[in-house]
Amino acid sequence: MRCVLLLLASAACAGCRPEVATPDPPASPPPAVPAPADDATRPAPPRAPVRDCEAHARAVRERVAGRGFHVLVEEPFVVAGDGGKAQVERFATHTVHWAVQLLQRDFFARQPERVLEIWLFDGAGSYRKHARELFGDTPTTPYGYYSAQHGALIMNIATGGGTLVHEIVHPFVAADFPDCPAWLDEGLGSLFEQCREVDGHIAGRTNWRLDGLQQAIAEQRTVALSRLVATTSDEFYGPGSGLHYAMARYLLYWLQQQGKLRQFYRDFRDGAARDPTGARTLCAALGVQDLDAFQPGWENWVQTLRRE
Ligand SMILES: [Zn+2]
């Protein structure tokens, strides 16, 4: 078992819709977990779309000329940051490249078609200033967000790399599984906002979202899993969104720990025309007839988890 990289997240889901999040203090390295086992069928290497990252990078350099940004290409992204060349190169290599390689290996058969930008702003002041000046945005999260409109991940990188991995998931899901429901999109994003590499696979770790979920379980405030997976985007991101994120994350965490997550994702994606919510595919992965019958056992298991 090999743990190469830990990503400690002060992670909020952001790209998506705003939600309140509590920063996660850095944790000490956790004990080893069983290696995710479901590796029966690996997807074919992603087909690389035609895109011109170098030309896009030149345009970005012109756009921010004289403002102290370093700009580089890390396919399919152009990465720009104002925290110095070394910082930009470090995140490009140790977070962006690392996450993209592992996510593609296990989940995504298609890459985003267009060049996407990752903006690494070095602190809250730069983040808010440049979100406004470059994109006309007023961020609703202190961490960062994905703007599909601008094709850009806009990050306050001083809060850590976890949110960056979360947001990287979204454009890949959009390319690979266009009809992916919010619960799976956000479940995957939030699963990997705190992650590490285990035997060559990306693996989510327990994080700050566990606290609220355990409290909701204790107070019997969870929603039925059958209801969660049937939520529309408006419902998922609406009232109770923090609980929706947490339930989706730890449902996928359960699948991950059982070695079933990667195959579940592929089965769901490939069969979504017949099972758009994923409920039937999920039942098959869980080995149950009824999600709501599965739920009490899952909730009991969640209550045994501890923050890493
Ligand atoms: Zn998200």
Could you tell me the distance, in angstroms and rounded to a whole number, from the CA of residue 17 to the centre of ligand 1? 7
* CB within 8 Å of 126: residues ≥ 6 apart: 82, 156
Residues 152-156 have a mean pLDDT of 96
Per-residue pLDDT band at 9 (split at 50, 70, 90): very low
Give the Å distance between the CA of 20 and the centre of ligand 1: 13
Residue 27 has pLDDT above 50, yes or no: no
293 has pLDDT over 50 = yes
Contacts 24+ apart (CB under 8 A), 29-33: 29/3, 30/205, 30/206, 30/308, 32/1, 32/3, 32/198, 33/198, 33/203, 33/257
pLDDT tens figures, 54-74:
999 999 999 999 999 999 999
- Backbone φ, ψ for residue 79 (5° rounding): -105, 125
Distance CA 250, CA 252 (A): 5
Q: How far is the CA of 141 from the centre of ligand 1 (A)?
A: 12
* pLDDT, tens digit (0-9, with 9 covering 90-100), for 84-96: 999 999 999 999 9
State in Å: Cα 245 to ligand 1 middle.
9
Q: 243 CA to middle of ligand 1, Å?
A: 14
Between the CA of 11 and the centroid of ligand 1 the distance, in Å, is 10
- 143 CA from centroid of ligand 1 (Å): 12
Centre of ligand 1 to C-alpha 125, Å, is: 23
Q: Sketch out the chain's domains with CATH numbers.
A: 8-179 (3.40.30), 197-304 (no CATH)
Q: What is the mean pLDDT of residues 278-298?
A: 96
Distance 188 CA to ligand 1 centre (A): 8
> What's the predicted TM-score (pTM) here?
0.84
Handedness of CA 229, 231, 234, 237 (dihedral sign): negative
Residue 227 zone, left/alpha/beta (φ > 0; ψ -120 to 50; rest): alpha
Mean pLDDT of 133-147: 94
Q: What is the pLDDT of residues 15-25, one digit of tens each?
A: 444 333 333 33
